[in-house]
Structure 1
Amino acid sequence: MPFYQKRGEIPTKRHTQFRDDTSNLYWEELISRKGFSHMYTNVYHVHPPTSVEAVGELKKYNLKAVDQTHRHHHIRTANVESDGDAISSRIPLFFNSDVVISKAHVKESMKSLYRNGNADEVLFIHTGSGIFKSNFGNMALTAGDYLVIPRGVIWQIDVKEDMRILVTESSSPIETPTRYRNKFGQLLEHSPFSERDICTPDFVGPVDDSPMDVEVKLRHGIQTYGYQHHPFDIVGWDGYYFPYIFNINDFMPITGKIHQPPPVHQTFQANGFVICSFVPRPFDYHDQSVPAPYAHSNVDSDEIIYYVEGNFMSRKGIDEQSISYHPMGLPHGPQPGKIEESLGAKETNELAVMIDTFKPLNMTEAALNVDDEDYPYSWIES
């Protein structure tokens, strides 16, 4: 996140002696992105962050695409067979070289720690609540939260209420949209959200020292490492690299006299895709405006929309937790009757998350298993 944060105790200068009350040196660790040319944070440990005492087996995994007819899809993710903690419950639905999109029905707290060494993550908390615990500190999770976790963060989630989570894994850093930032990284005055809306970790400090397993996700599997000391032994940190939360309900929508295109709803960007937030808002106010969107041939993008709640103005037969998948190469748009139904409407109560990718997505068998095969014909007038 492009603003500075400081927690706990740190020395006046980096890379200088920093000791505890008994004159033991703390262990400084630099966590940096893109070598030494991007965001970074310095953290200070009680114990060496390198103290691995056991290396487990690599648990391999392989994302497998299924052959499919090129068509529109309606994926009923509420019916996905998913159970476990925030990692074991993940069911991949779509993927390409830039992004993996999964659904997780989380009922259990995590017993071990987790670090994604292969991707940045955005966890959209649809329902439920819990506590996100990390080496940077803790944050409460509630419905509507986008939890942004840069790769390399060590974390676990304790569940308070069963959670439904839309998981996005990115091969590149998750960022706020460039057009909403000035050259210093500050969100601009016309941005639909500001730094005031960003929640950052509450510092906890070192936990009780004990050996701890950390599961690290790599390109081809998950490797378990046994650490001699608990990694949550940080006495202080400062920098620009840390996990954070932005709640979708804090997104202030941009509206217009006529229908505004989806980019005004953009919330995050990464290489190869964007994430947008559709939130309750007034409709267009031109006296001849058509609130429902026009038909669209998005010739360079695949479009995923995850429906959270409310009545989406252009769709019918869509439930909460549904995903509409409109691939490039086909036009999509409002279904019959939805344009006329929107005329004269003053506002919408829809809440949805859109992911547009700039490379074609692959579908998994898990997605096809909950696909509505009649959806491609839902534009036929009856």
Structure 2
Amino acid sequence: MTTFSELQYLHGFGNEHETEALTGALPQGQFNPQQAPMGLYAEQFSTTAFTAPRHQNRRTWMYRIRPSAAQGDFQPITSDLLRSGPITEVPAPPNLMRWDALAFPEKETDFIDGLITMAANGNLQVQTGSAVHMYLANQDMTDRFFYNADGELMLVPQQGAILAKTELGNLHVSPGEILVIPRGIKFQIQLPEGKARGYICENYGAPFILPERGPVGANGYANDRDFHYPVACFEDIDGEFELVAKFGGNLFRCKLDHSPLDVVAWVGTSAPYKYDLSRFNVINTVSFDHPDPSIFTVLTSQSDTPGVANIDFVIFPPRWMVAENTFRPPWYHRNVMSEFMGLIHGVYDAKEKGFVPGGASLHNCMSPHGPEAEVFEKASAAELEPVRYKDTMAFMFESRFVFAPTRFALESNARQTDYIDCWKGLKKHFNR
């Protein structure tokens, strides 16, 4: 039996939420009464240390039919093309790299089996850095569930919506939206449209938060109210199920005799959430020059160095470009940060050819990059009238750590080995 609450989505990034699928399932006045309502078990779920400062502390109390300890022993299973940082199977080259969209598998493949790692950095054992995966699935997860003990997961759908059924409720996420699942939350991915492809950032470091606005002031960028959390929804189902865990960079599975999505009520600050990227309030120049891409930061995972992110999630959404006397595409640059980019739909203004929806590019620390030759010539001679970038949604995972590509990424047929040629047409314009 599956029970859904009739409450609406809970709103507000990082706030404490409470929701119950059955009236009276949520205890009042204390979190852990001697006997929880309705014969439920109280279980605390923490994604930060108990002693983290109050404004950073993330924990949720779940009131569930069975505690999570009601499971079998884990046994290792193959990780296929899933990898974790540090990547040591091949040396990380400083080359500029780009890939076409990966093809959907021909055999039946669910979300877990369809995970492919493109690159990773840092070290999951010391909780720094991140990994970038692709997911390609054409089958629902039915009797399987998954959780990741190594890091927080940000899913960026590119083709096909997904239904994330989680311990704390369900979230339907379409291309143009993102889904963030806290470290350790159990979930199942179903495919309302039959198949789905997208990107994943596995964040080993501090949980994603909203970036500070600084001189921008009280408004702009992503707003707290636009983040949506699930309402309580539980399954009371007995049967033969499998729970897959990613732990220490490896996959393990154990048997369950019930669905683990049996949380009837919950209250807390750590829960899955989704965000519609079209709600991002773009801040841009109204005079001259091209601001740094940090103005497009949606979420950030902070490092121990202020202002230098473990990982930033940055988007390049539809917007007006009005800068006067300015070369409008991103300037040529070398950067201490490393950039892994993807394209959800449309065309990215600095790469009009070759950078395709579902594809990716990697520009690592101090590797020079910028507009291709044709884009440079076109932008240098363009009439600088106001221009509306309409059909576009590119994004970037930007990190202080170098992304090491996997052997699969380096040797894949999807890799564009001629990517560097897009800059070969750059002409010498020097005129004394």
Report the TM-score, using the length of structure 2 for normalisation: 0.80
Contact 2:36 2:42 in 1 (8 A): no
Asked if residue 329 in structure 1 is aligned to residue 371 in structure 2, the reply is no
1:171 and 2:198 are equivalent in the alignment: no
How far the C-alpha of 1:69 sits from its partner, in A, is 4.3
Alignment of 1:6-155 (within 5 A): 6-8=18-20, 9-12=25-28, 13-20=30-37, 24=39, 26-36=40-50, 37=52, 38-52=57-71, 54-61=72-79, 65-67=89-91, 69-79=93-103, 84-97=109-122, 98-111=129-142, 112-155=144-187
SS of residue matched to 1:254: coil
Compared CA separation, residues 50 and 360, structure 1 to 2 (3 A) = same
Name structure 2 gaps, 5 residues minimum. Answer: 1-12, 123-128, 304-309, 427-432
1:91–1:80 distance in 2 versus 1, CA, 3 Å: farther
Equivalent-residue separation in structure 2 for 1:232 and 1:281 (angstroms) = 40
Q: Quote how far apart the aligned CAs of 1:225 are.
A: 2.1
CA distance in 2, matches of 1:48, 1:325: 42
Q: Which structure 1 residue ranges, 5 or more long, are not aligned? A: 182-186
CA shift for structure 1 position 104: 1.5
Note if contact 2:105-2:137 (Cα within 8 Å) is conserved in structure 1.
no
Contact map agreement 1:128 1:143 (CA 8 A) in 2: yes
Partner residue in 2 for 1:282: 320
Q: Is the 8 A contact 1:119 1:151 kept in 2?
A: yes
Distance 1:7 1:174 in 2: 22
User: What are the superposed Cα offsets for residues 127-152 of structure 1, whole Å, 9 maximum, x if unpaired?
Assistant: 11231101101111211121100011
Aligned match of 1:304 in 340, 344, 360? 340
Alignment partner of 1:143: what SS? coil
Identify the residue that residue 212 of structure 1 maps to in structure 2: 241
SS at 2:225 equivalent: helix
Q: More displaced, 11-20 or 30-39?
A: 11-20
Question: 1:80/1:334 Cα in 2 relative to 1: closer, same or farther (>3 Å)?
Answer: farther
TM-superposed deviation, 1:188: 6.9
Partner of 2:407: 365
| Deviations, residues 92-144 of structure 1 (Å, cap 9, x unaligned) | 11111211111112111113011111111001011112311011011112111
Cα gap change, 1:79 to 1:50, in 2 (>3 Å): closer
- Cα distance in 2, alignment partners of residues 105 and 167 from structure 1: 11
Give the Cα separation in 1 of the matches to 2:92 and 2:245: 32
Q: What secondary structure is seen at the aligned counterpart in 2 of 1:41?
A: strand
- Cα distance, 1:33 vs. partner? 2.3
Normalised by the length of structure 1, the TM-score is 0.90
- Give 1:70's aligned amino acid: P
- Tell me how far 1:197 sits from its aligned partner: 1.5
What displacement does 1:81 show? 5.9
**Matched residue SS, 1:366:** helix
2:228 to 184, 187, 199: 199
Q: 2:271 aligns with which of 242, 263, 278?
A: 242
Could you give the per-residue CA deviations for residues 38-80 of structure 1, whole angstroms, max 9, x where no partner exists? 211111122232112x224212545553236421111113347
Letter in 1 for 2:212: R
68 and 48 in structure 1: CA distance in 2 versus 1, 3 angstrom threshold: closer
Distance in 2, matches of 1:312 and 1:173, equals 30
SS at match of 2:423: coil
3-state secondary structure, aligned to 1:77? coil
Deviations 1:279-317 (A, max 9, x none): 01000343x13221211110x221111122222221132
Q: Distance in 2 between matches of 1:235 and 1:321?
A: 37
Change (3 A) 1:294 1:236: same
